[in-house]
Chain A
Amino acid sequence: MSRGLVFDVQRYAVHDGPGIRTLVFLKGCPLRCAWCCNPESQQARPEPMRRPALCAACRTCASACPAGAGKRDGRGGPVLDRERCAACADFACVQACPHDAISRVGREADAGELLFEIEQDRDFYRNSGGGATFSGGEPFFQPEFLGELLAGCRSRGIHAAVETCGHARTDILLALEPSIDLFLFDLKVLDAQAHCRLTGQDNGLILDNFHRLASRCPDKVTARLTVIPGVSDSEENVSAFAGLLHETGLETVELLAYHPLGLGKWDGLDREPLLRPEPGLAASSLAEVKLRLTRQGISCR
């Protein structure tokens, strides 16, 4: 059994694929989206994440840190110097914190162990039409591990979905396609330059992959658009997106509303998001995008 890097497993997940699902989050992503709501999913290695709300500023973590990464910020609050942090094997700061204010994000997991956990809710999947969803990060970033998880689901008769940003090697994507029941294909920005600026990667590969999957197995592809106020909700972007769907023959889209839930996590990682969209606009922005797409013959879920 191969091992991979996972940062969370959520049971009774109901927003990513049909029915009641177990959601496995694989850690590591090729994109660096400026608004990312799971910034802890980006790095392909375990890292400590602080929970500032629980922190009592007792500095126990700083004294425990073998690398001396415990620091204070300008206002005297505790921060971790990420340059120094060596993500030591036993996460000394996490062990030491008496207030549970630092947690370790990311663990090496065995595919067999995850499949065992996925199997626990088999009856819930059966009665709800659910299954497992592999999300991230970018699941295709760990192809062997993902392949083993998918094969495991297949042999157990469990419906398997993969949520992807599409930035993956095409040969891997196509090789794993037969063991995937559903692709949740998350698109953001269609303009190549803007995509590069906002995510750090060109979207050529993503669009190419999208076309290939849509022509090869259209029934298995759910296109999703993350509606980020001021980023992906512009008229041009929405029209381009509608155009893409028309080209590929897909007629429905799942809209994902931006939510600011990830902002606290950026803090906990001692990082600053490149973009802080206005959360108050999320609802109206979503409604507007929905209207535009509907007008262009795309049905929204």
Chain B
Amino acid sequence: MTTARTETAFTPREVAASPSTERTAFLKRRYLEEPLRVDVDYLRLLTESHRRTGGLPVLERRAEDHAYALERLTPVIHPHDEIAANKTRYIRGAIPYANYAAGPFLKEMRRQVQDAQQKHVEQGRGGGIAGALERARKEGCRVFSGKFLISPQDYETLREACEYWEGKCFMSSGQRLWKARMLEAGFIEKGWAAGLYTAPHEPCPEGRLILDFETALAKGYWRMLDEIEQRLASPDRRDGRRAEFWRAAKRVLGGALAFAENYAKEAERLAAAEPDPERRKRLGRMAAACRRVPAQPPRDFREAVQSFWFTYILGHLEGSHLGYSPGRLDQTLWPYYQAGGVTYEEAVELFEELFVKMTQIEYLASLSWQGLGHGNLYQNLILGGLDERGRPADNELSLAILDAQIRMQMTQPTLSVWHDDSLSEKFLLKAAECVKTGVGYPAFFNLKTYIAHETAASGLPIETVRKHAAMGGCTEPVLQGMSYGVVQAGFVNHGKLLDLTLNDGVDPVTGDRLFEPRKPKSYEDIRASYLDKMRVSVRLWQRYWNHVMAAHRETVPLVFCSVFVRDCVGRGLCMDDGGAVLNGTPTTLSSGLVNVANSLAAIKKLCFEDKACGLGELKAALDADWKGHEALRKAALAAPKWGNDDDRADDVFLGLFDEYCRWVPGEMNYLGEPYDPSMLAISTPVPFGKACAAFPDGRRAGEPLADGVTSPFPGTDRRGPTAVARSSAKVDHTRIRGGLLNLKFHPSALRGEAGSRNLLAFIKTYFEKPGFHVQFNVVDSRMLRDAQERPEAYRDLVVRVAGFSAYWVEMSKALQDQVIWRTEHGL
């Protein structure tokens, strides 16, 4: 029986589960009930140290400041926690990294506009955000950055720190550099005003980084310290630059050990005062673990989890990260699980706690970046894949991790699967089951495609790529523990380039001229004009970022993280100096190409093939936002569209994509490797679309752009998901680092085991073609509309946005609408 939409009740998602134990149910509930808070402790200590470390070489100063703070941070163990250490003192806490960018915070305090993008970006209002606003009223606290609770006293501390960092932070140092040294600085600023680029990215420049947890666990910090000592005792110490890094590395590891010891002491203190014998026993076990790791290798699975978590949090504390990820945790922890000591169910429960702890990390930056990230830090945990020798790597822990998220449905970490045909059916069916909860993960990635990209781009042996392939951030593959992680995460808006092309170089929204006038006459002229603008905008964006990164090296180089990235210690170079094995990870990102391709295809059809209208008439319709031009808009909507396996539109997309991929590597990144082309989305389709006028593809002014990278524009994919997959697979994904295809399925399309198998067959076929990435929202749109009307009934509803999932109630209305708007397949 066929399909149509009904106005009655909606179909629920098929898989529903709940936390394994009362303890983890409590942890989740506690998380959902807590407001978001700013924790100024780390910044206060860092600033205190920085005031007195002037004169030290920059790496040593950075290490000293970080270590000073680590040694003094208050260790907080919340009731019922069994894994020690948190990034902040609060359940939902964020650190204001004023050493990165004090400006946006000060501007908020001074009630000034932070940047030009702010007006395009919205934040959510519900859930823990509503909680913060309400408590602020009750407790006499302030609300900072739109959603964080902060006490008046902490607010003052923050203000003082920001004022201290105002001229010294990474952002202001960078601005001094690029604004003075870059001839075209004015273009970048006009680009920001027009919405051609995402907001200045200094508040969160890094991430997409996965530390070498394998070595951290297997060696332990003591042995790593020994090795550094030996290097400092060797003749290599005479190389001042390398010696500086090793001294810095030693200092920061010392601070990290003190941090762990403070947690051991706190656990012992709590254990001594604990009346309940069971809880006392558990606290004792926690204390023993903190005494053992990360200094020495773990003796069992619990200690391995604790050791991983220490290193993870210590690295997280150092930088203002987005995309900093746990990587292949099922591989990292596997030897310790095999050694025995915990049952499968106990392992699942520990992961449940771990995932609550990851979700508890909040993210405070400029309002623009908060809006783009929607509170998600893009922590990506990737499962499956292959081992060094090419054998399937999925194991019992892969299942346990899936089970934990099926039961918890936390927004972080986002789970991914490195897909290969050889993975076990049991594992793949479990992954499909997780998809059917509706949380939007795991996302599926085609390992073969990435191997082809990375072996070609880096020249590294295939064994290395197989073993270390992981996901750093939403959809950007990197090599775990060996890739440079300070990357440009800002985007170029293809939609705005189209605006500029159609308006003779003037932004129709701001009226600014960015390019010389040029009157295109033919379809080829228009396309060429667009490509020229793309080339200029990309190149200047890359050069601007290279200047900014010079400032990163001089202000906030990552020392702790470098110790855990191969082969920084061996080379005696931090990541900012090129210590990592793989330095080709910095990408040039963009989004919105689908709308450009659809628009060019429409221009070609309407103005040159059918001659239904002239360019002038089309322009007039766009200027009027299609009002009074409904018939023309209908023709525009009927023109060929990406996502229908229609070469008339697909070839346009592929041509533009090729040009982009060819152009991006023409500029070297600041470490001397070619920039890698990439396309992603995060939340950019909403603000980028808001900044754009009406398009020839029928889109109205201000509407979001197509989501993802190869996702069709909502409503224009009329031939079902297999046609979308066939269009998307025409893209040569081996040429880019990343890619993103969102599909939305109605729950009934995936019902039962047959539904799961069909889903897996769909993924397998798409990857044979070969596609690179696909992820699914499994939800009835009517349920989402109901959730907009009755948010109180949907506090824990999770949906997939782009490379991340989010709690529905904490999303902005615009983003909610965008998810509802996406085409829903199958009923």
Contact = CB atoms under 8 A, between A and B. Distances in A.
Nearest to B757: A128
A128 B768 CA distance: 13
Given A128-B757, A128-B758, A128-B761, A10 B3 contact: yes
A68 B769 CA distance: 51
Contact of B762 (A25, A100, A128, A129): A128
Interface in B1-50: 1-8
A38 B161 CA distance: 68
B755 A14 contact: yes
Interface string A126-143: 111110000100000000
A261 B5 contact: yes
A283 to B, nearest CB: 10
Contact of A124 (B4, B757, B765): B765
Interface string B232-254: 00000000000000000000000
B749 A38 contact: no
B461 interface: no
A139 B633 CA distance: 37
B1 A37 contact: yes
B765 A15 contact: no
Given A14-B754, A120-B645, A8 B761 contact: no
Interface in A80-133: 98-100, 120-121, 123-124, 126-130
B723 interface: yes
Contacts of B3: 10, 261
A98 B631 contact: yes
Nearest to B719: A11
Contacts of A135: 2
A11 B720 contact: yes
A58 B334 CA distance: 66
Given A12-B749, A123-B768, A259-B1, A20 B722 contact: yes
Contact of A11 (B630, B723, B754, B758): B723
B826 interface: yes
B758 A20 contact: yes
B825 A12 contact: yes
Contact of B720 (A12, A37, A123, A226): A12
Interface of B: 1-8, 630-631, 633-634, 637, 645, 719-723, 726, 748-749, 754-755, 757-758, 761-762, 764-765, 768-769, 825-827
B56 to A, nearest CB: 60
A226 B2 CA distance: 13
B6 A259 contact: yes
Contacts of A30: none
Contact of B769 (A13, A123, A256): A123
Contacts of B721: 11-12
A264 interface: yes
A260 B765 CA distance: 34
A159 interface: no
| Range of interface residues on A (Cβ < 8 Å) | 35 or more
Given A25-B2, A37-B2, 4 more contacts: A98-B631, A98-B634, A260-B6, A261-B5
Contact of A14 (B630, B634, B758): B758
A4 interface: no
Nearest to A283: B9
A127 B726 CA distance: 15
B6 A261 contact: yes
A277 interface: no
6 contacts: A11-B721, A98-B634, A123-B769, A124-B762, A124-B765, A261-B6
B761 A127 contact: yes
Interface in A1-34: 8-16, 18-20, 23, 25
A15 B827 CA distance: 9
A265 interface: yes
A265 B4 contact: yes
Contacts of A37: 1-2
Contacts of A100: 634, 637
B1 A15 contact: yes
Interface string A272-288: 00000001000000000
B631, B721, B758 pick with most chain A CB within 10 angstroms: B758
Contacts of A124: 722, 761-762, 765
Contact of B8 (A16, A128, A262, A279): A279
A38 B2 CA distance: 7
A284 B327 CA distance: 47
Contacts of B826: 12-14
A214 to B, nearest CB: 22
B722 A11 contact: yes
B6 A14 contact: no
A8, A12, A265 pick with most chain B CB within 10 angstroms: A12
A12 B762 contact: yes
A262 B825 CA distance: 18
A262 B764 CA distance: 34
Interface string A245-279: 00000000000100111111100000000000001
Contacts of A98: 630-631, 633-634
Contacts of B758: 14, 19-20, 128, 130
A77 B5 CA distance: 21
Nearest to A117: B719
B423 to A, nearest CB: 14
Contacts of B633: 98
B491 to A, nearest CB: 31
Contacts of B719: 9, 11
A259 B5 CA distance: 10
Contact of A121 (B630, B637, B722, B757): B722
Nearest to B827: A261
B283 to A, nearest CB: 50
Contacts of B765: 123-124, 126-128
Nearest to A98: B630
Contacts of A121: 722
B741 to A, nearest CB: 14
Q: Which 4 A-B pairs have the closest CB atoms?
A: A128-B761, A98-B630, A11-B720, A127-B761
A144 B135 CA distance: 73
B723 A120 contact: yes
Given A10-B3, A98-B630, A128-B758, A120 B825 contact: no
Nearest to B629: A98
Contact of A256 (B1, B825, B827): B1
Given A10-B3, A261-B5, A20 B762 contact: yes
B8 to A, nearest CB: 6
A181 B5 CA distance: 31
Nearest to B750: A14
Nearest to B720: A11
Interface in A215-268: 226, 256, 259-265
Contacts of A126: 765
A185 to B, nearest CB: 14
A18 B758 CA distance: 9
A64 to B, nearest CB: 11
A123 B129 CA distance: 47
A15 B758 CA distance: 11
B405 to A, nearest CB: 25
A100 B637 CA distance: 10
Contacts of B762: 12, 20, 124, 127-128
Nearest to B745: A12
B4, B748, B827 pick with most chain A CB within 10 angstroms: B4
A173 to B, nearest CB: 22
Nearest to B632: A98
A256 B1 CA distance: 8
B2 A120 contact: no
A14 B2 contact: no
Contacts of A260: 6, 8
A75 to B, nearest CB: 19
A13 B748 CA distance: 11
B656 to A, nearest CB: 24
Nearest to A127: B761
